[in-house]
Structure 1
Amino acid sequence: MDELLIEPGSAKDKTSQVTETSSNTAFPEFPNKNINKQIAVASTLAAVGLFLSTRLDFGVSLKDLSAAAVPYEEALSNGMPTVVEFYADWCEVCRELAPDVYKVEQQYKDRVNFVMLNVDNTKWEQELDEFGVEGIPHFAFLDREGNEEGNVVGRLPKKYLLENVDALARGEASVPHARVVGQYSSAESRKVHRVVDPRSHG
């Protein structure tokens, strides 16, 4: 079989020279539009994924927690230890801690009651006084008989909440973090947030 020889100066040889020359030029190449599209799509997907994961993690609202909470009267009579959270919808720290509270609640809800008492509801005035609520969120940890074993006020590490709830669930005589005060909202703010019936003004 005859071999095909390409002589210098032939058409095929010139093509290869042109290709070599163009790849070595200093002219900037036009960006590949497909790569730009792929980067844009990947960036968008990453942003959506980040949003969704944040939404899933922080998507638990105080309203969700309140809806899932055990009624206070039931919690005091069912023979299980109880965590009472005094909160308000306007309380930033309360909202911030909601996902952590939810995770702990999901882990222990079969062994510990989780009660949510809104400080804006005048129905809970007696409990606010009884538990000495001055800042929110205010977490009170009660044993099976309803005796307060400790309380944590304000922003707390999830670890503290978890360890206290775990101690309650195991029937320990006390909770490891019995008196902790972090950054909190003043419960006195509830007076500003009370809704006054406009009909009561002449």
Structure 2
Amino acid sequence: MAPVVHGLEQQYENRVDFVFLDTSDPQTTAARQRLGFKSTPHFFFLLKNGSIVTDFQGVVPRDSLVRSLDRLLERGELTLME
């Protein structure tokens, strides 16, 4: 999934912030618990205030991620972090 996600990161540059958590790093434990992280990979789409809009667990087709990102951007639900 990494090549797909990194490709999306480039495609949505300046429109969506991508944040990656290292699940083996103990410093990410609090963030993973807050998000309800359950499996690898696990994708969360968050509003600027940190609320989860949607999430995907496991291997997800690229088209599903693109549709969700486009829909959220169209609705103005995703904004860049400052």
CA distance in 1 between counterparts of 2:47 and 2:71 reads 10
Give 2:20's aligned residue.
116
Matched, 1:132 2:70: no
Give 1:99's aligned residue.
3
Specify which of 151, 154, 158 is matched with residue 55 of structure 2: 151
Preserved contact between residue 141 and residue 148 of structure 1 (Cα < 8 Å): yes
Q: AA paired with 2:41?
A: P
- Percent identity of equivalent pairs: 34
CA distance in 2 between counterparts of 1:146 and 1:130 reads 10
| Aligned alpha-carbon RMSD (Å) | 1.6
Which has more radius of gyration?
A: 1
CA distance in 2 between counterparts of 1:143 and 1:134 reads 20
Is there any run of 5+ residues in structure 2 with no aligned partner, and where?
Answer: none
Normalised to the residue count of structure 1, the TM-score between the two structures is 0.36
Specify which of 69, 72, 77 is matched with residue 165 of structure 1: 69
Higher relative CO (CA 8 A, sep ≥ 6), structure 1 or 2? 2
Which 4+ stretches in 1 moved above 3 angstroms?
none
Question: When the two structures are aligned, how many residues end up with a matched partner?
Answer: 77
Normalised to the residue count of structure 2, the TM-score between the two structures is 0.82
Q: AA paired with 1:155?
A: V
Is there any run of 5+ residues in structure 1 with no aligned partner, and where?
Answer: 1-96, 174-202
The equivalences for 1:69-80 within 5 A come to none
Q: How far does residue 163 in structure 1 lie from its aligned partner after superposition?
A: 1.3
Q: AA paired with 1:98?
A: A
Q: AA paired with 2:67?
A: E
Q: How far does residue 123 in structure 1 lie from its aligned partner after superposition?
A: 0.4
CA distance in 2 between counterparts of 1:108 and 1:129 reads 27
